Amino acid sequence: MWKKIKRIIYIIILANILFIVWGKFFNPPITITQIGGLMEYGKLKRDYISYDEMGSNVKKAVIAAEDQSFFVHNGFDYKAIEKAMKYNQKGKKLRGGSTISQQTAKNIFLWQGRSWIRKGFEAVYTFIIELVWGKDVILERYLNSIEMGRGVFGVESASKYYFNKSSKDLTKSEAAWIATILPNPRKYDPKNPSAYLNKKHTWIMRQMNNITLK
């Protein structure tokens, strides 16, 4: 019995290693989140493109909105985590401190939701992809897999869905609107923005001026 358990564990570990290495060169065939979107909304809009095909505006916009320390941290932004913990201790609405690397690990390998088990796996995957993939690959996988609307995944599909153009052709303002709906793309709509979204869009536009792509 114990030998069978060990064999299963070894197989799982080997499969994960192969998937991580494979993921350095290819986008995921499908993710758990995408399956969930397909089941809930009956559609799966996605269009994987390469890092260079994405254009600079949408990269800067998402980094400005989600993780301005992306190119300098090791996968974890400890200041952001500490800030989020203090904010949550006040009893206000939960705020996350996840980096783009952590979100990529979650989106590609894991499932949505809040649990210590998932966060533990997320930390392990984040550490590994930072070592194996590097920043450009992590950002490419993130921008291709992130949920951007109801059944819409990735910046290319989002660009076509909201603005009827490729992501490389987005203006600075349009790219900022793509980033503005994060982290709740099922709720927010850049075509029908609230006062809060308009304010956030303006802030992202300013922050984009501080982002330098590597």
Mean pLDDT, residues 73-102 taken together: 70
Cα-based torsion angle of the residue sequence 129, 120, 99, 105 in order, rounded to the nearest 10 degrees: 40
CA terminus-to-terminus distance, the chain: 51
Range picked from 10-19, 41-50, 85-94, 109-118 for highest mean pLDDT: 41-50
Reply yes or no on whether the pLDDT at 29 is more than 80: yes
pTM of the predicted model, to two decimals?
Answer: 0.88
Please state, in angstroms and rounded to a whole number, the distance separating the CA atoms of residues 136 and 71.
9
Please state, in angstroms and rounded to a whole number, the distance separating the CA atoms of residues 155 and 47.
8
Mean pLDDT, residues 77-82 taken together: 70
Mean pLDDT, residues 107-124 taken together: 86
pLDDT attached to residue 161: 94
User: Could you give the domains of the chain?
Assistant: 44-208 (1.10.3810.10)
pLDDT-based confidence at 15, cuts 50/70/90? confident
Query: How much is the mean pLDDT over the chain?
Result: 88
CB atoms under 10 Å from CB of 214, counted, come to 9
